[in-house]
Structure 1
Amino acid sequence: MNEQQNTQVAQEGYALFSKGDIANLLKLYTEDIEFIVPGSAALIPYAGVYRGKEEVGRFFAKLHEAMDFERFEVQECIAQGDTVVALGYGKGHVRATGQPMEEEWAHVLRLRDGKVAHFQVYTDTAAVGQAFQRSSHMAM
């Protein structure tokens, strides 16, 4: 596939994610997809390395349980060969703590035969992890 087609696959995936259509999103991934979300799973419950569609489906379930996004948007996609880099922004709150979370992110997608075979997240894991910490300040 060419760069424009690869970019369209990436954009379709983000559109499906935004609608909460994870079943159809998973169809855009190869059977052996490797999905990497940085950070400590002790702090960020959905952090980790997920392999295969079933594990990636569990990632999306963990993400939904952990986060409530009010905004999640792709600002730019840059493609070269079979690689697409998506730059974006997310804002929401952590369900367990109520803490706000705001992040700029980069995702690197590597495609094979028109499907995403590798997905790597880059973000400020310290800021994301902090949102999962309960506030040490008590209201008086």
Structure 2
Amino acid sequence: MNEQQNTQTVQAGYALFGKGDIPNLLKLYTEDIEFVIPGAPQAIPYAGVYRGKEAVATFFAKLHDAVEFERFEPTEYIAHDDKLVALGYGKARVRATGQSEEEEWAHVFQMRDGKVSRFQVYTDTAAVAQAFQRSSQMAM
């Protein structure tokens, strides 16, 4: 696949994510997809490494249970060969604490045969983890 097709695949994935259409989003991934979400799972409930479509579906369920996005928007795409980087911004409310968190992020996609084979997030995990802390924990 060429860089333009890879970019279109990733853009389609973001559109499906925005609609909450996870079953069709999963169709854009290889069977052996690997998702790498930074952070400690005890601080960020959806953090971890997920391998395979079933595990990635679990990630999306954990993400949905943990946060409600107010804004989630990729702002720039940088494609080279079979890699694509998306830069973007997100603002979400943590369901358990009611606290908001804002972040700029970079998502790195590895493509294979027109599908995403690896996805890795780069963001400020300390800021995300802080939004998951209850106010009483933050006062300590």
TM-score clears 0.5: yes
**Counterparts in 2 of 1:90-109, with a 5 A limit?**
90-109=90-109
**Per-residue CA distance 1:3-39 (angstroms, 9 max, x = gap):** 0000000000000000000000000000000000000
Q: Which residue number corresponds to residue 41 of structure 1? A: 41
CA offset at residue 94 of structure 1? 0.1
Shift of the alpha carbon at 1:136? 2.4
Aligned ranges for residues 80-119 of structure 1 at < 5 Å?
A: 80-119=80-119
Query: Displaced runs of 4+ in structure 1, greater than 3 A?
Result: none
2:57 aligned with 1:60, yes or no? no
Supply the distance in 1 between the matched residues of 2:91 and 2:60 (Cα, whole angstroms). Answer: 17
Corresponding residue number in structure 1 for 2:17: 17
Q: TM-score by structure 1 length?
A: 0.97
RMSD of equivalent CA atoms = 0.8
TM-score by length of 2: 0.97
SS in 2 for 1:136: helix
State the identity as a percent.
Answer: 74
* Alpha-carbon distance between aligned partners in 2 of 1:37 and 1:29, rounded to the nearest angstrom: 16
Rounded Cα–Cα distance in structure 2 between residues aligned with 1:10 and 1:127: 26
* Unaligned runs of at least 5 residues, structure 1: none
| Aligned residue identity for 1:82 | D
- Could you list the runs of 5+ residues in structure 2 that have no partner in the other structure? none
AA paired with 1:117? S
Aligned partner of 2:125: which letter? Answer: T
Equivalent pairs, count: 137
Aligned residue for 1:124? 124
